[in-house]
Structure 1
Amino acid sequence: MTAFASAPAAPGPTGARQRGPSVLVLGGGTRLPKALRDHGMYVVYGGTPDEFTPAHHDACDEAWLLTDGSEDDWVRRAVAMHQVLPLRRVVTVRERFLTAAARIADTLGLGGNPLETVRILKDKSLMRQRAESLADAGAVRARVMRTPEDVDAFVARVGLPVVLKPRDGSGSADISIVRDEDAVAEARARVGDLPGVMLAEEFLDGPEFSVETFTDQGRHRVLALTEKFTGAGAVEIGHVVPARVGAEERAALEEATRRFLDAMGFVEGPAHTEIILTANGPRVVESHNRPGGDGIVDLVRHVLGVDIRDLLAAQIAGVEPPAPAEDPAGAAATWFLTAAPGVATEVSGWETAAQGPGVVAVAPGTRAGDTVSPLRGSGDRCGSVTAVAATADEALDRARGALAHVTLRTDPSSPHSTESREGR
């Protein structure tokens, strides 16, 4: 059963707060709602009861909560709410709400990126179709896999290896690199079980980056280049800002991103565009109309001196963007803890890691008794350390060095845990 509830307006320091222009924030933490309120906006938070915390109550004026709402439910509720509480804007920085927010904005005429643009970025097969017109910017051969025979045909066309991934996915989840005939057989079986769900792409060889941008009236400002490191498959195990590239490579990555966003019809707000720098130049892997996940937004904040969510709040409120901090870090890096699959029997060292030079955050993700899954997506990692320093090399050394103090031992012979991380 769907529950729909509202929380009372959070009073300001002198009592009930005067209502300003209303904005609906779907999902996410409290940074964006707080920034919007600081600009005089009346903030309505939309999410689930589980994710609405006491901190959200203090950051928002109202909360509209659905326990199991579908995208259609959110659109209907927002349209109904608009009749009694007219909305100026709807915004989200959460992947699962991107299309819902765009549909609400489109239905109510609230502006923002076109619904078509958001749908194209969510569905990687549509993105590839649109990008075919950008042959000079690095179009990538790709095809939706509807039958097992499609796998054979695509491999025959582009050769091994190929990449198989969900059309609508995030967090590097369920991505596999098909390198040999055994993997082809596994891919055929997977497509047979999930017809039309998977996308096959040609394999791109080279270092991987993401370009963090902020767009205003169609003008794309590059905030940072993130250098990415991957472990098994395509799962990311580390990031550093700024990326260690030369001026020529940086210019090529930035230009490829701008051309791509133009082709997608991107007009405003943050974007996180993933690119591989091949021997033949940059090739866009995918893009999202939101800030980068995996703590990248925090790396950019440490280095740029401004939080992307604060830039977004200022854009929505129609005010000048915040000034950068006076003493930002020269570089920031995050490194993720991974471990062999099994039940965690010992987890220690996080306190020591937190005391490492330049360490600004530790995020333990696994406790003794939890099951550690094979590394197939971002959710299978076991924690992280973030460190800042004067240079990218030093930030990486600090993050990795601090994480080296953490011990995580697993018992591969025990397939079940007393408590799963997902259940917490």
Structure 2
Amino acid sequence: MRTESPAGVVVIVDGYSNASSLVTAFAACGFAAVHVLSSAEPRPAMIAPRAEDYREWLVCPDGDAVEETVARLAAWNPVAVVAGQEPGVPLADLLSERLGLATNGTALSAARRDKYRMIEALRAAGIRCADQFTSDDRESVVDWAERHADYPVVVKPLSSASSDNVYICHTAQQTDDAARKVLAAHSMFAERNTAVLVQSFLEGPEFCVDSVSADGHTYVTAVWAYEKTVVDGGRKIYDRDVLQDPEGPVVPELIAYVRQVLDTLGIRHGASHAEVILTERGPALVEVGARFNGAMEPEFYQRVVGVDPAALVALAYLDPAGFADRYGDGVYRRLLHAAVYEAPTTLDGVVESVEEAVVAKIGAIPTVHAVVARSAPGRRISPTVDLLSSPLRIFMAGADAESLLRDRTVVDELKDRVYRLR
């Protein structure tokens, strides 16, 4: 029989993937976790939360049963409601607001998930952003691209992640083909794509800015430059995220821009992950999520920038004044050169086994901090076309950038031996 927690609990909504670090961080502060799932079943494209990590597991699909969920959560004396990953953002906003806890609120929830509304909110505030159009009609999408934008244009779903169904289109035919693919698909969150977003192409290098906020005080935990490569078919895929010098020539400008974005979208509490293109005119947002970077690994961040973002989130909710005093509106230090390598593959087949000896050999490379095998026996591996289809994530850190590149060549010699296929 379950009993109330006198100390209180943290409520984690959609605790997929690295959201398990939140369970650990709040537990270190004396608070157990209760889980709320925002869908009837776990979303299959994401690493599912572990039931054993939680005191209780509630289901509140599509915002149904909110009253019952709020009542059941209130009995646990919750101290915070936190979105574990992207699909949980709106429900976390709603539950935290209804429970009277620190909240980003529901007024701008849609703009924090729907990419069209997100960019329009920036436009209304006079913040630099892409031109765009959305429709459930392919012909209208192509017409907008032909009339209002110079090619290339970007076609993608309104709400997804990890470069899922994102296409760079150079012709009307490519735009039509991309719109058809988006409308025929479900997002990585198992949500049917009911409309297409088409945007002007933002030319320039891409960065991501990770941060944690407490009552509007935002500490930037890292800025990464995205390096991409082109695969067969012309699609660009993520290659490496490279940690930037916080005092580098473009980083302060990126950070200042992202602070404006967070203020405009009402992200005042918790983690955020913003992707930005540095155009000739200055930074312009790709998208921002009120949740962790998908590649956030606490021990890695602790090693390379000196902070654990999950621990910062716990501090932000439990002691916002202490957070403000200690971290204020500060910026990370780069302690080591670091990169996250999303290793691609040309393998095609069903995994029979993960060769742990090869994983260990990669892990023994001097600059390799950790190796994450993202597939498993019985799952299919296909040639990499986006972030989701990269079968290995490798965290690397060292004294200089050259050592990371040198050791990456060793990784490349081993990566396709990690999986034995049937």
Q: TM-score scaled to structure 1, two decimals?
A: 0.81
Structure 1 unaligned residues grouped into runs of 5+ = 1-6, 10-16, 412-416, 419-424
- For residues 298 and 149 of structure 1, do their structure 2 counterparts lie closer, same or farther at Cα, with a shift above 3 Å needed? farther
Opposite residue 197 of structure 1, the aligned amino acid is A
Q: Structure 1 residue 110: deviation in Å? A: 2.0
One of 239, 242, 245 as aligned partner of 1:240: 242
Deviations 1:293-346 (A, max 9, x none): 13466643321222111011112222635989xx98412212122122622689
Of 164-173 and 90-99, the range deviating more from structure 2: 90-99
CA shift for structure 1 position 96? 2.0
Report the counterpart of residue 257 of structure 1 in structure 2.
258
1:282-293 matches, cutoff 5 A:
282-293=283-294
Contact 1:334–1:386, Cα closer than 8 Å, also in 2: yes
**Structure-2 separation of matches of 1:181 and 1:410:** 40
Q: 1:340 aligns with which of 325, 346, 355?
A: 346
In 1, Cα distance between equivalents of 2:183 and 2:241: 35
Matched, 1:132 2:123: yes
User: Deviation string for 1:132-169 (max 9, x for gaps)?
Assistant: 1354x422101112322222222221121100111111
- Equivalent residues in 2 for 1:320-359, closer than 5 Å: 320-321=322-323, 329-340=335-346, 342-343=348-349, 349-359=358-368
SS of the residue aligned with 1:247? coil
Q: Structure 2 CA distance, aligned partners of 1:234 and 1:112? A: 36
In structure 2, relative to structure 1, the CA distance for the partners of 1:352 and 1:193 (3 Å cut) is closer
Cα deviation digits, residues 224-277 of structure 1 (max 9, x gap): 111112234353232122x26873311211111111112212212211110111
Which amino acid is 1:332 matched to? A
Report whether the alignment pairs 1:63 with 2:62. no
> What fraction of aligned residue pairs are identical, expressed as a percent?
22
Name the SS for the 2:69 alignment partner.
helix
8 A contact 2:165–2:181 mirrored in 1: no
Q: 1:396 to 1:197 in 2, by over 3 A?
A: farther
For residue 381 of structure 1, what is the aligned residue in structure 2?
390
- Find the residue that maps to 2:101 and give its secondary structure: coil
3-state DSSP class of the match of 1:237?
Answer: strand
Match of 1:273 in 2: 274
Aligned equivalents of 2:49, 2:223: Cα separation in 1: 32
1:305 aligns with 2:306: yes
Decide which of 175, 179, 195 is 1:184's aligned counterpart.
Answer: 175
Could you say what the CA RMSD is over the residues aligned between the two structures, in angstroms?
Answer: 3.3
Correspondence list, 1:212-223, <5 A: 212-223=210-221
Choose 1 or 2 for highest CA Rg.
1
**Pairing 1:117–2:123 present:** no
Please list, as runs of the form range in 1=range in 2, the aligned pairs for 1:389-400 lying within 5 A after superposition.
389-400=398-409
SS of equivalent to 1:109: coil
* SS of residue in 2 equivalent to 1:139: coil
Give the aligned partner of residue 106 of structure 1: 97
Which residue in the other structure is 1:4 paired with? none
Query: Deviation per CA, 1:96-150, whole angstroms, max 9, x where unpaired?
Result: 2111111111223223112233321210011011011354x42210111232222
Q: Aligned equivalents of 1:189 and 1:406: distance in 2? A: 34
Partner residue of 1:3? Answer: none
Structure 2 distance, partners of 1:192, 1:336, is 27
Equivalent residue for 1:414?
Answer: none
TM-score by length of 2: 0.81
Closer/same/farther in 2, CA of residues 205 and 97 from structure 1, 3 Å limit: same
Deviation at 1:85, TM superposition (A): 3.0
